Amino acid sequence: MDEPKPVDIEILRGFSPLDGLKRENLHALARKTRLQELDSGRVLFKEGESDKRTIYLVGGEVELRVGDRTVSMLRAGTPEARIAIAPGQPRRVTARALSDITYIAMDSDVLDVLITWDQTGTYEVNEIAGGAAADADDWMTVLLQTKAFHRIPPANLQALFMRMQHVACKAGETVIKQGAEGDYFYVITKGTAVVTRETPMNRDGLKLAELGVGESFGEEALISDGKRNATITMLTDGALVRLGKQDFIELLNEPLLHWVDLEHAREMITRGARWLDVRLPSEYESFHLEGAINVPLYFIRLKVKTLDPKVPYVVVCDTGRRSSAAAFLLSERGFEACCLQGGLSGNRLGPE
């Protein structure tokens, strides 16, 4: 199979709603899109899949099936083929090539954001892409595929992209230092980094996690209004985007955080949720809620795989500061997590 070819802007104009984009924004979309081929008899996508792609048929014919039954056929160049093939997720049909076909496929979230920006007229797509270097790294696609960004209101999402700054990094560079003041939230768009924490027993730093493309860091200090609790060092040359503290709080943190009072929290526990105590082990041993799991905040990244993603968690600490940081980290990773309003102290839960 040949390598995908760049797509001509006039091909994009033949499809809806792409035909409504401004010319400069259509050019930006064309740079992100490739013309692809599929042999006759091959499946383009299957019923029940959630592939988050918007696909347009450029050449050939496609059969759409539900189970063993053919429900329709789509031929390139017809009025029916001006819209995406069987849009909607998860897929309600299976699409199979009846002949050798050519098609274009786009990330559905990216396309939706580009169309939104184009229609608001407040920011050009080619401007937000940050030029050729940023376009090559496709940082916008990386962010939109990050779980946290799926839950951000569209208006917030647009503002986030407009306010983010690009940062190039070299291998061995320290991005944030343990003990420093929190100033930015970061997302890795290229390369890898390591998270280490210095302790009295380990001055060289205990390795907590490795972070790759699409993973974020720096949120704990911003949410808790405290010092950095770990050091982040680049393992490779890479690139980051960063968001200032106030923008992070208003646009990303607040939409993701969910607070519950004690009564609501206890109702959740009776329905199968779990208490997650993110205080230090010594605090946990002194007092903890019945059935609570203890994962200290600085270990959340390392221990997140031990938690059940199907179980809702009510996160607790003394005041709500550490629990809100932990709940944000869990929400970023697709968990259903909320914080106990006021913490253990505010609800007078603790040793007498």
The two beta strands, 337-340 and 259-260, are: parallel
> Are the C-beta atoms of 109 and 148 separated by less than 8 Å?
no
| CA distances to 47, 64, 263, 313 from 292, in Å | 41, 50, 16, 10
Out of 169, 317, 338, 339, the active site residue is: 317
The closest of 337, 231, 221 to 277, measured between CA atoms, is 337
Query: Strands across the sheet with 165-169, in order?
Result: 165-169, 238-244, 184-190, 216-217
Structure token digits, residue 13:
């104009």
> Are the C-beta atoms of 196 and 233 separated by less than 8 Å?
yes
Placement of tokens 């003394």 in the chain: 318
Backbone angles phi, psi at 268, to 5 degrees: -60, -40
DSSP string, 238-306: EEEEEEEHHHIIIIIIHHH--EE-HHHHHHHHHTT-EEEE-S-HHHHHH---TT-EE--GGGHHHHGGG
* Upper half-sphere CA count for residue 56 (Cβ side, 13 Å): 24
Determine whether 338 is an active site residue: no
Tell me, what DSSP letter sits at residue 225?
T
Neighbours of 81 (CB within 10 A): 19
**H helices within the chain, ranges in order?**
9-13, 23-31, 108-120, 125-128, 131-137, 139-144, 154-163, 219-224, 245-247, 254-256, 262-270, 281-286, 300-303, 321-332, 343-346
Neighbours of 161 (CB within 10 A): 21
> Are the C-beta atoms of 55 and 61 separated by less than 8 Å?
no
Task: Supply the residues annotated as catalytic.
Answer: 317
